[in-house]
Chain A
């Protein structure tokens, strides 16, 4: 196993639910309540030293009990290593801790995840929609149940000719 993963697993044995090392990408999945602690460890520990935030992403798995997956990708400028941190949240309570105080860049990235997937970030300084309009109420576009080809409103426009779909 990759030494980074060994280290994280050794430090947070109970909190780590899954580790993987695929195609050279090192990835660790933690439970939601340990997320903040693990992130702090990745940021502060001299052996880890992940000072650079690459991106925050999210994946929707509608069939799973814990439906949403939030993905952080970190890089260490001094150690030149990468790690991916993941956690899962259920739909009924999709809140995770914000990491904006550790990495300033997380501000906009987390706002994008909120906007696109509807995952809320606890203690985020300014959690608003970022790409969609502020008053947009039709849901979160990147969820799998958000229709890809319209909501059928077009069919109700009688001034349009029948368009084959």
Chain B
């Protein structure tokens, strides 16, 4: 035997065939394999203990919390405004959407109306962020599975939008551009021109991404029929976003609990059929086209107007005024040292981020700080279905499944 080893080989004697004494049979046992927390395809620091039978996954146990920073506890110590930069660090790939979801939740608590132009601006930037998120997802998933080229093409186009963010708010990733009651600053004409240029440039590029993948036999072989989840199971696990829609469940908060400028835009929600990795890929690519459509409509419909709600007791004064006007400075100081007086109550507000439903459950007892703030993070909830979806597939498919959730550990561990 080429790999005979006294420690792992057990000699069995079959009484009916005594000659088998000379033929060693290899001992079989279940193998535990630690994948991560430093594995490049786990998208951060996630460890999964894989129980293997040969190369098949029998059971997988996610071990999370390596990036746990106690964000929910921190929220109880700061004012509502001070928590906005913390939300950037949840899903650090798509900071804008986290800001958006959080600000919406606080506005629901305060019953605050956001002016129309601000709603359009919010929708535009959120959809730009969705494009960035899906590009990042596509590049990372393709890279994990072994299609490297598309990674460079996605990152080339993502760079244009990140530079656009940089010009918009001074940061590429941790943006903090949304404010409770509106947005921090308006789009300049240059930014609008650049965005329009991008909208003309981008759709042919989406076709280009697809060319790399849709005729790639390795990509098809590793996504079609992999990590299948039925509609009932997906609903029961609480999956959301493209992962749920891939199983054929039409659930998109932008459509069914419309917010911001989404009800004024026409767009469709792509829904898959088979619930496999390929369908989830297809949905995300189709959503890129839809995002372009939404941004175009918003740019056309947007009228001039204020970008911040007229509620001085809650909203931050414009920065120019803080430096020139005494009342504005006092207001800024009061809002950051004491916060505004939120009404006592309890709300939950979910927003359709590109990964799924990102929700904030806020309990207020009055005063400037949230009494309890709970973040419903799609990545965390998707990990709950990991064992169910990975069972019976190969080790290499585990990477595909991490990828198909679009998991980001900052949001998963919080």
Interface residues of B in 219-240 (CB under 8 A from A): 232-233, 235-239
A142 adjacent to B347 (CB under 8 Å): no
Tell yes or no: A60 within 8 A of B by CB.
yes
Q: CB < 8 Å: which of B111, B236, B361, B413 contacts A104? A: B236
Residues from chain A with Cβ under 8 Å of B348 in the complex: 25, 54-55, 73, 82, 84
Tell yes or no: A51 within 8 A of B by CB.
yes
Tell yes or no: A9 within 8 A of B by CB.
no
Contact A105 B236, CB 8 Å, known A59-B371, A73-B361? yes
Could you mark each residue 107-121 of chain A with 1 if its beta carbon is under 8 Å from any beta carbon of chain B, else 0?
Answer: 111001000100000
A130 adjacent to B237 (CB under 8 Å): no
The stretch of B68-76, B161-169, B186-194, B324-332 that contacts the partner chain: B68-76
Tell yes or no: A87 within 8 A of B by CB.
no
Query: Once bound together, how far apart are the Cα atoms of A59 and B64, in whole Å?
Result: 22
B238 adjacent to A71 (CB under 8 Å): no
Tell yes or no: A103 within 8 A of B by CB.
yes
Q: How far is the CB of A139 from chain B (nearest CB, A)?
A: 12
A51 adjacent to B381 (CB under 8 Å): no
Could you mark each residue 330-370 of chain B with 1 if its beta carbon is under 8 Å from any beta carbon of chain A, else 0?
Answer: 00000000000000011110100000010101010000000
Residues from chain B with Cβ under 8 Å of A130 in the complex: 64-65
Could you mark each residue 44-69 of chain B with 1 if its beta carbon is under 8 Å from any beta carbon of chain A, else 0?
Answer: 00000000000000000000110010
Q: How far is the CB of B372 from chain A (nearest CB, A)?
A: 5
Could you mark each residue 1-33 of chain A with 1 if its beta carbon is under 8 Å from any beta carbon of chain B, else 0?
Answer: 000000000000000000000110101000000
A131 adjacent to B359 (CB under 8 Å): no
Q: How far is the CB of B336 from chain A (nearest CB, A)?
A: 18
Residues from chain B with Cβ under 8 Å of A60 in the complex: 372
- For B, the interface residue count at a CB cutoff of 8 angstroms equals 43
B363 adjacent to A59 (CB under 8 Å): yes
Q: CB < 8 Å: which of B347, B372, B385 contacts A25? A: B347
Tell yes or no: A39 within 8 A of B by CB.
no
B72 adjacent to A105 (CB under 8 Å): no
By DSSP majority rule, is chain B's interface helix, strand, loop, or mixed? mixed
Q: Which residue of B lies closest to A55 (CB)?
A: B376
Contact A148 B347, CB 8 Å, known A52-B235, A77-B235? no
Tell yes or no: A164 within 8 A of B by CB.
no
Contact A108 B383, CB 8 Å, known A23-B109, A77-B235? yes
Query: Once bound together, how far apart are the Cα atoms of A94 and B232, in whole Å?
Result: 32
Q: Which residue of B lies closest to A146 (CB)?
A: B73
Interface residues of B in 373-393 (CB under 8 A from A): 374, 376, 380-381, 383-385, 388
Tell yes or no: A53 within 8 A of B by CB.
yes
Tell yes or no: B414 within 8 A of A by CB.
yes
Tell yes or no: B108 within 8 A of A by CB.
yes
| Residues of chain A at the chain B interface (Cβ within 8 Å) | 22-23, 25, 27, 51-55, 57-60, 71, 73, 77, 80, 82, 84, 103-105, 107-109, 112, 116, 129-133, 141-142, 146, 148
| Residues of chain B at the chain A interface (Cβ within 8 Å) | 64-65, 68, 70, 72-73, 76-77, 108-109, 111, 232-233, 235-239, 249, 251, 256-257, 345-348, 350, 357, 359, 361, 363, 371-372, 374, 376, 380-381, 383-385, 388, 413-414
* 7 A-B residue pairs with CB within 8 Å: A23-B345, A25-B346, A51-B236, A73-B359, A77-B249, A104-B237, A109-B238
